[in-house]
Amino acid sequence: MSSTANVDKNSKYVGTIIGESTSREFRLAVAHETIREQDIIAVDAELRHPDGNQPPEQIRVWAKVQRIERLNPLFPSEAGHELAETRTDPFDTILSLSREMVTAVCQVLGAEPIDGKSGGKLDHLRYPPQPATRAYRPDSSDIARVVLGDLQEKQKRALDIATLSNRPEVDVLVDGHSIVTRHLAILAMTGAGKSVTARRIIEQLAKKNYPIVIFDPHGDYTGLSEVDGLKTRVKRYYAQFPIFEEDSETIAEIVNTLGYQLTDTMRSRFSDLFRAATSFIVDDPKEMKERTEWLAKAIGRPEIADYGVNPNMWLVANLAEAGELALRNDNGDENKAKLVELGWPGFDKYTKTDGRTLEGIKKRTYRAASALSRMEKTNQIVAKSAEPLPVDRKELVKYGQISIIALAGYTGDFQATIYSLIADTIFEARVTGELRLPTLLLLEEAHNFAPARAMTPAEHRAISTTKQIAQEGRKFGVGLILVSQRPSRLDETTLSQANSFIIMRMVNPADQNFVRKVIETLGEDEARILPDLDVGEAILSGQLINFPVLVKIKKSESEGEREEKDAFEELEKAYKDLRNNQS
């Protein structure tokens, strides 16, 4: 080795191996403040061949600093207690305070030939490095080569999302192929930066034209449409609840939830009413116009003829009212016959008692329609200049397109139902071959779509859909990104199917324990530092990266609706706008 190389190594010296060394771990006596936890270091070593007939192989052993321990053997704890009791400054005594011993526990990552021509691929170390060997801080280019591994040769798969937290000059690229085919989980507490991380990944995947469908409960992804280069490719959709894609029992439960409880008698008639409402909408414009005009006249609501009817809860309520009036009026035979013609089974056998039943259904359904309408209006406001969801859900998946489905305004059950209907359709279309393009589904607040405990039929259905995609999606080109601030509330089976993880600050003990249990690639020392991560810091683990590393996520180009701003600045701005509008 040249003297220049020795000088270079000396200037980057961080410590010397001491004590017991294994092929998995060793300890360093550390030079004062030369390294930090999660730093990547290297040790040069000789590996002799067992037969002894070949010259020793010169290798570089790569390791990561897991924890640092600091001890002064000449300052015993008894002395510290004595000084504390007398409130004496240790520096005013004759005790030696300069003989500190700093030790680092290092995890072996692997080894490569000393010339670095392995392409970043590290082999398993089968024989421990020698005690008294010097460890040093590698060049940034070498660290980048090892962190990236074979991504250097597969740039089409690489996504630029972060820098090393302790070496910000080193860009960290991850394997996009692993993300879109083997699923990714982004886990963090509120405010740690998980949505920014998700948007950064989406922006990088968009550069590679990968089709993406985002289920957005809060408007975190609306800002993607403002990014140069994405404006024409981002499609935002508001989600009108598709009640006629559900069965009558499900819609009856919705009426129970949003209106008030249907009696058993009402439920027995509701299925017939729902069938009539389902049959009411036809493709023939002339026939549709005649039906609408008849309905407007039958219930005395001329505005229906002016504005038309839509396949929604209002139509169900309108038909319930039409049925009630037909039974209550002595001259309602014509309308009775019309309702039978429109597909209301057995209506000609209904009695006046059934009229009172329909009155109860009408009141409850109008109330439910009003509540559902408020949700839909809130949803459209958050979605801003969005389009209605296409009838053909396959239209959401197009080359280079990002489809954002706004779910804000709906309660959790409605969000789960809308998601499962769309995701089921997309997955089935991929299985049957009707949909040719692969796609990636991003679930923000994924614990609502794949909860650990499903409490309602909507949640049961959503978790069933998510589990199926998590377990079988790879075979059919449907990937998942799960974003959650409460991983302990996520379905364990679904999360275990993710092979890549971005884990950010996490303080809740239940979430920490759950993450440790489910994520095999996360070491104990990495889990230990989760509560101490800064905003934007993350541990990358799994198949998207060569080995777990601590990184700082790069800022996304887009912003969400809920980016936190100074509350008092926002107050003054709102007050100023209010005064300007009044003047």
Per-residue pLDDT reduced to its tens digit, 529-562: 899 999 999 999 999 998 889 999 999 988 765 5
CB 195 within 8 A of CB 212: no
pLDDT at 314 over 50: yes
Domain boundaries, the chain: 3-138, 158-239+389-568, 244-378
Alpha-carbon separation of residue 227 from 162, 194, 257 (angstroms): 19, 19, 40
Q: What is the pLDDT of residue 518?
A: 84
Kindly report the CA angle at 459 between 455 and 464, in degrees rounded to 5?
A: 120
pLDDT at 577 over 60: yes
Q: Using one digit for the tens of pLDDT, what is the confidence trace for 482-521?
A: 999 999 999 999 999 999 999 999 998 888 888 888 887 7
| Mean pLDDT in residue range 295-311 | 92
Question: Mapped to the 3 state alphabet, what secondary structure does 327-381 carry?
Answer: HHCCCCHHHHHHHHHCCCCCHHHCCHHHHHHHHHHHHHHHHHHHHHHHHHHHHHH
How far is it, in rounded angstroms, from Cα 208 to Cα 219? 24
Q: Using one digit for the tens of pLDDT, what is the confidence trace for 207-238?
A: 999 999 999 998 889 888 888 888 889 999 98
| Mean pLDDT in residue range 353-376 | 93
pLDDT at 141 over 70: yes
Q: Say how many Å lie between the first and final Cα of the chain, rounded.
A: 80
| Mean pLDDT in residue range 260-283 | 92
Q: What is the pLDDT of residue 575?
A: 82
DSSP characters over 170-185: SEEEEEHHHHHHH-EE
Topology of the domain covering 158-239+389-568 = Rossmann fold (3.40.50)
| Mean pLDDT in residue range 348-365 | 93
Q: How many residues does the chain have?
A: 583
pLDDT at 579 over 60: yes
The pLDDT mean for the chain works out to 88
pLDDT at 2 over 50: no
Q: Using one digit for the tens of pLDDT, what is the confidence trace for 55-67?
A: 888 899 999 999 9
pLDDT tier for residue 316 given thresholds of 50, 70 and 90: very high
CB 252 within 8 A of CB 267: yes
